[in-house]
Amino acid sequence: MMAAMTGEETRMAMSPPIRSSAQDAELRPPATRAWLTRLVIVGIVLTALNLRPAITSLGALLEEVRDGLGMSGSFAGLLTSVPPLCFAVFGVMAPRLARRFGPAAVVCAGMVAIAAGLAIRPFAGNTAGFLVASALALMGIAVSNVLMPVIVKRWFPDRVGSMTGLYSMALALGTAAAAAVTVPMTRALGGSWHAGLAVWAGLAAVAVLPWIPLVRARGTALSRDTASASAPAPARDTPSASAAGQEPSALRITRSRTAWALAVFFGLQATAAYITMGWMAQIFRDAGVPAGTAGLLLAVTMVMGVPLAFVIPRLATRLPHQGPIVVALGVCGLVGYAGLYLAPAGGAWAWALLLGIANCAFPLALTMVGMRARTGAGVAQLSAFAQSTGYLISIPGPLLVGVLYQHSGGWGLPIALMAGLMIPQIVVGILAGRDRTVEDEAERRP
């Protein structure tokens, strides 16, 4: 996506009318550019807040939704597999849509889709309608997932770690808030799970607002505005920039072993995350923990990502190899799963804490996406490839957990599966954390 955008900017720079427009953008008062930058930051934060409530709010009320719609355990497992499926299918579309309409317009449309899907699904009346409305919301999440690293790289090329940490914190905060307050909010709204799920559409509607002026500001807002806000225009006219515009067309991301390692790492951490978001509250409830407390435990797991999502990306960007962080997070996950198996209720708070630390492999993966590519175009290609492939890999996990749970009558086998998947996650994470770039690997390989 960034390749096409860079090439497009180069062609536009060679056209006198459009070049004049770009130069005019550069001559805007600094206050105007600062205002745009602040608006982008607000948009990034609000968008990140909406990237997980559609999932964790459902996890907190999964038992009520199952009873209300007559779902079996296997079908509930299928429902928890829908997010990664949608992320894989629709995430692939994000670069192409962004090239045509601009990243700001695509993210804005994504927030509209989330708001519509969350408002419709509780009142769809049957499982099929519930799934379709969920898919609409997840489509909006999918394109925003892919474009967040791209937007950060374009607007804040010298602050990738801190800005990735900022939106990762917001993402974790939204995830935790939905897990923590959905059950008590449902009770406050009269005990209807329909209202408890639908209320999150309001947060998505608010996230639409900052993107509207960015889309209106310039036709493809982030493709040209970011160029003037974060880089001087003359650089776009140089031969090197022009060459950079040609580079992505020659980059074959599938030739990079690091890209594959990062995609598998992303997929395995996503598997663990969606199993946790979809099933952990139910594990605690089956162990005798009250529903409200189970929701709080899930919130603790999710809220761990708020401080760590800011610390881990900054730490990762200062290390030549991110393998030690991968190992530390994996060990926390293994200990947490062992605790869930041996004493799910007795040590519930400790296990929730440890699994929350393990789930911070997500901001680490996002940070490595930005570190394993030299150019913005490379980041766009790597982000789309790693996330789409990774989410495809993660699809069977939550479904398999639901099937094992239904047919085994307990959580022993599902927890063993979760722990078993942590081993290859550590291995591929170490490989993905090596200090190299996908551009170099793609060029070297025949």
pLDDT value of residue 242: 34
Helices (H), 121-250: 127-155, 160-188, 193-198, 201-208, 211-217, 221-230, 234-237, 239-250
Percent of the chain with pLDDT over 90: 16
Per-residue pLDDT at 166: 81
Section 314-318 average pLDDT = 85
pLDDT of residue 294: 84
- Please give the pLDDT value at position 73: 62
Amino acid, res. 407: H
* Confidence (pLDDT) at 240: 36
Distance (Å, rounded) from C-alpha 293 to C-alpha 145? 30
pLDDT digits (tens, 9 = 90+) for 187-216: 887 777 788 888 888 899 999 998 888 777
| Residue 30 buriedness (CB in 10 A; 0-12 / 13-18 / 19+) | exposed
**445 or 335: which leads in pLDDT:** 335
pLDDT tens figures, 270-302: 889 878 877 888 888 888 888 778 878 887 887
Tokens of 49: 């807040």
What are the percentages of helix, strand and coil residues in the chain, rounded to 5? 85, 0, 15
pLDDT in tens, 96-117: 788 788 888 888 999 999 999 9
- State residue 429's pLDDT score: 94
Which region among 137-141, 261-265, 335-339, 404-408 has the lowest average model confidence (pLDDT)?
A: 404-408
pLDDT digits (tens, 9 = 90+) for 3-29: 443 343 333 334 344 333 333 433 344
- The CA dihedral of 429, 431, 435, 437, to the nearest 10 degrees, is -100
Residue 217, pLDDT score: 67
Question: pLDDT band at 72, cuts 50/70/90?
Answer: low
- What is the 8-class DSSP label of residue 124? S
Tokens matching residue 23: 């130069």
Write the Ramachandran bin of 257: left for phi over 0, alpha for psi from -120 to 50, otherwise beta: alpha
User: Per-residue pLDDT tens for 149-178?
Assistant: 778 877 777 776 777 778 878 887 887 788
Q: What is the pLDDT of residue 27?
A: 37
Check residue 443 and give its pLDDT: 66
**Would you state the pLDDT for residue 205?**
92
